[in-house]
Amino acid sequence: MTIGTTRFFQNNSELFSRLNEDLKSLQSQAGSGKADLKLSENFRDVAKLSAADEMRSQTKQFIANSGRVQTDLETLDLAMDRLQNVLIRLQEVSVESSNDVLLPEERQRFISEAKMLKDEIFEIANQSDSFGNSLFGGVSGKSLPFEMAGNGKVSFVGSAMAKQISVSNGLSVMQNFSGADIFQNAEGPNGRFSVFELVDDLINSLSVDLSSTVSTNLLKSANSAVIELPDTGPDAEISLTLATAAGDTSFSASIYGNDYSAFVTHINSKTATSGITATYLGGNRVSLQATSSELKVTNFTQNGMTDPNSSLKVLDPNTLATVETVAQNKINFGDISVRITDAFEHFATKRAEVSAASRRAQDAEEANMDILVGLEEDIADIEDADLAAVLTRIEMLMTQKEAAQATFTRITSKSLFDFLG
């Protein structure tokens, strides 16, 4: 074989290889509908496709995040709704249990229900979403954010920072709450308070030993007794019942600036029926005398005193030393009721934040869906092959290949004598 013949075979071999490779690429494009983009030949299109594909992946992630956070926020909203319903019932318990004439078994029933409501709030506070992450744990993940000690005291052990999730470029929305913000940050007249401590206050109020609200006989060793009433603010009210063998008589009066003279006047206005007379000793001390051999103090209540939990004191008539204290026969349920209302409004405000975050996530999802449609179109413009041009090119290459094969066959079939002749 001559050098010329060898070179002819090499050239034709390279030609056939290139034609087969081009045909294979074109046939693949015709089958898939996608252009065969090579970096060396289509640098600009490859770069545009890479950037668009990366943006598409990011946009899909934003859409997935928006869907996930809307589901989480819906679960959170249901939990907040449940909390508000618990507080509505707690308010009803507070109002119904403030009745002065509750029987012990009725009071115990309200105590039991208040404890159950506290347990329900605790359960909600430790609720998780469908992925097991705490609704009120902040960024603490699946760890329970609240713990209850043996004495019933509840502590927050979660994260103080709420979890955020990206739903668009430069936009993140809350995915949950920090339990400290929800359950320990309600604001009332006397500052911020814990919802759990609020329920404990109601339970403790209902658990007061009622026997401490009735005095023993004040006339044990004398025909008179001295009582010391609480220090008042500028405007206060006081009421109590003085019980004798002849019956019970209720007294009440408005007190201004620790001056109990009006109260003494009120007692003496009923002496004819009660058999009780009073002498004002000045300040907040009053001497009591009775025609009966027995005199007791009960149903003592007050509003507007310097200390809202203050008690009435029974003093020795001779030494004026305290010999007995009489507690109020009810705690200030009005304060508890106000704080329950404040907690309810606090929950309502936080629930509105959930709704606003969900709306932002939904808006971002809709915007990203529009972006994704545009990206898909851009990518298709780059990736999609021009089918008509591809088929024309295939036909041209097939013709070229057939011609090359015919030439190769004709030349390789000739002998040296054919060329010499």
Strand partners, 315: 226, 322
* 43 compared with 242, residue with greater pLDDT: 242
Q: Are residues 99 and 129 in the same domain?
A: yes
pTM (whole model) above 0.75: no
Res. 419 pLDDT band, cuts 50 70 90: very low
Predicted confidence at residue 399, as pLDDT, reads 65
C-alpha–C-alpha distance, residues 49 and 28, integer Å: 19
pLDDT grade for 89, boundaries at 50, 70 and 90: very high
Q: Both ends of the chain: CA-CA distance in Å?
A: 19
CATH of residue 138's domain is 1.20.1330.10
Please write the tens of the pLDDT for every residue from 355-402: 999 999 999 999 999 988 887 776 666 655 444 554 565 556 566 555
Same structural domain, 142 and 104? yes
Instruction: Sort strands 224-228 and 312-315 into parallel, antiparallel or unpaired.
Output: antiparallel
Assigned domain for 14 exists: no
CA distance 1 to 415: 11
Write down the pLDDT at residue 334.
Answer: 72
- Output the pLDDT for position 87: 97
In a domain, 144, yes or no: yes
Q: Identify which has the larger pLDDT, 38 or 218.
A: 218
CB 120 within 8 A of CB 100: no
- Judge if 301 and 221 occupy the same domain: yes
Question: Is 49 part of any domain?
Answer: no
Q: Are residues 168 and 256 in the same domain?
A: no
Residue 222's CATH number? 2.60.40
Closest to 86 (Cα-Cα) out of 108, 114, 107, 111:
114
Q: Cα 180 to the chain's mean position, in Å? A: 9
- Beta-carbon count within 10 A of 47 CB: 11
Mean pLDDT of 334-356: 93
One domain, residues 200 and 245: no
List residues bridging with 322 in a β-sheet: 315
The confidence score (pLDDT) of residue 406 equals 59
pLDDT of res. 390:
44
316 part of a folded domain = yes
Burial (CB count <10 Å: 0-12, 13-18, 19+), residue 72: buried
Average pLDDT over residues 57-62: 92
d(CA 331, CA 309): 7
361, two tokens: 């996530």
Would 4 be classed as within a structural domain?
no
Is residue 229 within 8 Å of 260, Cβ to Cβ? Answer: yes
Summarize pLDDT for 266-289 with one digit per residue, the tens: 999 999 999 999 999 988 899 999
| 75 in any annotated domain | yes
pLDDT tens digit string along 212-258?
666 788 887 667 889 998 887 677 888 888 988 888 898 888 888 78
Beta bridge partner(s), residue 113: none
Model pLDDT, residue 407: 59
Average of per-residue pLDDT across 341-355: 95
Using CA atoms, how far residue 404 sits from 18, 40, 393, 407, in Å, is 12, 27, 16, 5
Same-domain pairing of 344 and 249: no
Question: Is 419 a domain residue?
Answer: no
**Which tens digits make up the pLDDT trace of 164-207?**
999 999 999 999 889 999 999 999 877 899 999 999 989 988 87
What is the SS3 assignment for the chain?
CCHHHHHHHHHHHHHHHHHHHHHHHHHHHHHHCECCCCCCCCHHHHHHHHHHHHHHHHHHHHHHHHHHHHHHHHHHHHHHHHHHHHHHHHHHHHHHHCCCCCCHHHHHHHHHHHHHHHHHHHHHHCCECCCCCECCEHHHCCCCCEEECCCCCEEECCCCCCCEEEEECCEEEECCCEHHHHHCCEEECCEEECHHHHHHHHHHHHCCCHHHHCCCCCCCCCCEEEEECCCEEEEEEEEEEEEECCEEEEEEEEEECCECHHHHHHHHCCHHHHCEEEEECCCCEEEEEECCCCEEEEEEEEEEECCCCCCEEEECCCCCCEEEEECCCCCCHHHHHHHHHHHHHHHHHHHHHHHHHHHHHHHHHHHHHHHHHHHHHHHHHHHECCHHHHHHHHHHHHHHHHHHHHHHHHHHCCCHHHHHC
Q: Is the pLDDT of residue 37 over 60?
A: no
Residues of the chain with pLDDT > 70, as a percent, come to: 72
Cβ contacts of residue 302 below 8 Å, gap of 6+?
230, 236, 237, 238, 239, 310, 328
Instruction: Residue 125: give the domain boundaries.
Output: 58-207+335-368
Task: Report the distance separating Cα 390 and Cα 387, nearest Å.
Answer: 5
| Residue 391 belongs to some domain of the structure | no
Report the percent of the chain where pLDDT is more than 90. 37
Number of domains in the chain: 2
Is 249 in the same domain as 295?
yes
Q: Is the same domain home to 171 and 243?
A: no
Whether 118 and 64 map to the same domain: the answer is yes
Q: Locate 235 and state its tokens.
A: 């405007």
- Judged by phi (left if over 0) then psi (alpha if -120 to 50, else beta), residue 311 lies in beta
Identity of the residue numbered 40: S
Average pLDDT of the residues of the chain: 80
Residue 203 dihedral angles phi and psi, to the nearest 5° = -60, -45
Examine the domain organization and report whether 66 and 186 are in the same domain.
Answer: yes
Residues 215 and 182 in one domain: no
pLDDT at 130: 82
Average pLDDT over residues 118-122: 97
pLDDT score of 327 more than 70 = yes
User: What is the per-residue pLDDT for 18?
Assistant: 60
Assess contact for 145 and 129: CB atoms under 8 A: no
Same domain, 195 and 303: no
Give the HSE-up count for residue 190: Cα atoms under 13 Å, Cβ half-sphere.
7
